[in-house]
Structures are given as C-alpha cells and as structure tokens.
Amino acid sequence: MLHAIGRTDTYWDEDGFVIVYKRLEQGTFRWPAVAEGQASVTLRAAELTMLLDGIDWQQARRSRRYHRPATG
C-alpha cells in the first residue's frame, strides 16, 4: 500500500484529459498497490472520490439494497 501526501491524476473525459491535483496538509492517501506486471491502477469515479476524501475505499463495504421482486 503506497502512502502519498500529494496526488496528481489524469483521466480521459470525452474530448481531452482532465488533470486533478490534491495535496493533504495532514495525513496520507491510502493508495492501492499496483499488481505485478502492471504500470498503473484503474479506479472508478466513486473510488477516486473516496480516495480524495480520505476514505480507505478498500475497507468500505456496500450495504444491501432492496430489489423489488419481478412480477409477471
């Protein structure tokens, strides 16, 4: 697990790259480890949001949601 004080990230948004930078005044980001043989990590938007908000998204769990039974 890498820990970093500042993050610079880029992602493609339909017609160009978006650059995101955030620096923490205190604490560290809990960045996921890169798998052997890979050069980068791919995150979903929700995972990036939690990372930038200081949430360890690898420890977060989704709650069960109600699904209405199919009819017919």
Amino acid 35 reads A
* CA proximity to 29, closest of 61, 62, 58, 6: 6
Tell me the average pLDDT across 49-67.
Answer: 80
Tell me the average pLDDT across 56-71.
Answer: 82
The number of angstroms, rounded, from the C-alpha of 30 to the middle of its chain's C-alpha atoms is 10
In whole angstroms, what is the distance from residue 34 CA to residue 57 CA? Answer: 15
pLDDT score recorded for residue 1: 42
pLDDT score recorded for residue 2: 44
Give yes or no for residue 47 having a pLDDT over 70: yes
